[in-house]
Amino acid sequence: MLITGGGGGKTLLKQIKAKLKESKRFYRLAQWLLIETLCLNDVDFTPCDKANILDLQVWSSATHLRHEFDKSNSHNDKIASPNYTIRTLANSLKESGRLDAEYYQSKYEKNEVLLKSLPHKRLHELVDIYKSIEPGSDFYKEKGLPFVRVSNLSKFGVGKSEVYLDSKDFAKESLQSLYPKKDDVLLSKDGSVGIAYAVENDLECVLSGAILRLKIKDKTKLKAKYLSLVLNALTTQLQAQRDCGGSIIAHWRIEDIQNLLIPLLDSKTQETIESKISQSFELRAEAKNLLESAKADVESALNDTNNGGEGK
């Protein structure tokens, strides 16, 4: 009522929309910085070309990109590249243990070439990986300790849970050890795989077994929000697409996740990306607070009206 009706409500709605729009803009700027630094920094592209890259999700080595765009700019043709490779048994099954044709699509090979051409490390060299619990539906409650599933996770945060646990059913110490801490990175490995979120504040909740908790090793000096952006980026999503199994529900093996190729940009670029994502999250939080405040005002006004009506 307050948000949709009256001049004040419309003004508040505009404020909320403006903050959400600005939040998306800052996140987009962080994405662009990552993309340009990874593979476009030495190629003279027009803004239109860069937009096409992002929209078409074309990722490969800088040399391949330069060649394809030179060709497309001269002939006004769209990028075209056969999405297959030819492998012998020795450099397919014996090398990777995989014989399915999808695993050897050229987009995955080009993505790996790009990442290996840059400073990088495997994920297990940068983080310690912790798996949570999957107690089963018999332990689900309507209230209590929030149990966070993949459906509650997004790159912008952890949403409200519909399922809860009773802490009395578990050892208190074991549950507390599972709580996500500030600067942990959450990563989904089942169902909607590859959703990553850098935790901003300590959370009192329990993650499902489908969500991994990544704790950055102190010696790496890696920025949590930078890592979350990389994990959400197409370079990682392509690795997930290549590795995932499961005929009904996608499943990403921890062994494959441990070996993800993570590009390591310089600390200054990481800090810039971190700053833009932080600004994005802050604006989103402000929009949420405005919405919650509006809801509280509506509830208060309704209560006052009801109480007044009873008094009469």
Beta bridge partners of residue 158, listed in sequence order: 153
The rounded Cα 243 to chain-centroid distance in angstroms is: 18
Question: How many angstroms separate the CA atoms of 151 and 187, rounded?
Answer: 12
Beta bridge partners of residue 263, listed in sequence order: 120
Residue 97 makes CB contacts below 8 A (sequence gap 6+) with none
Question: Amino acid letter at 98?
Answer: R
The answer to whether the CB of 238 falls within 8 A of the CB of 260 is no
Tens of each residue's pLDDT in the chain, 312 residues: 344 445 566 788 889 999 999 999 999 999 989 988 886 544 444 455 444 444 444 443 344 444 444 454 444 444 444 554 555 444 444 444 454 557 668 888 888 888 898 899 999 999 999 999 889 889 999 999 999 999 999 999 999 999 999 989 988 778 889 999 999 999 999 999 999 999 999 999 999 999 999 999 988 889 999 999 999 998 999 999 999 875 678 899 999 999 999 999 999 999 999 999 999 999 999 999 898 888 887 787 787 777 765 544
The answer to whether the CB of 197 falls within 8 A of the CB of 177 is no
Q: What is the C-alpha radius of gyration for the chain, rounded to an integer number of angstroms?
A: 23
Q: Where are the domains of the chain?
A: 14-119+266-312, 120-264
Sign of torsion over alpha carbons 223, 229, 231, 236: negative
Helix-, strand-, coil-residue percentages of the chain, each rounded to 5: 55, 15, 35
Which tokens in the block code for residue 90? 């020795």
Q: What is the CATH number of domain 120-264?
A: 3.90.220.20
Taking CB atoms within 8 Å and a gap of at least 24, the contacts of 296-300 are 297/2, 298/1, 298/2
Count other C-beta atoms under 10 Å from residue 154's C-beta.
Answer: 15
Residue 274 makes CB contacts below 8 A (sequence gap 6+) with 223, 224, 225, 226
The stretches of the chain forming alpha helices (DSSP H) are 6-35, 47-56, 62-75, 93-96, 106-116, 123-126, 172-176, 224-232, 234-243, 254-258, 267-311
Question: How many angstroms separate the CA atoms of 58 and 67, rounded?
Answer: 13
Beta bridge partners of residue 198, listed in sequence order: 185
- Whole-number pLDDT of residue 39: 66
- Whole-number pLDDT of residue 210: 96
- Whole-number pLDDT of residue 139: 93
Question: How many angstroms separate the CA atoms of 294 and 286, rounded?
Answer: 12
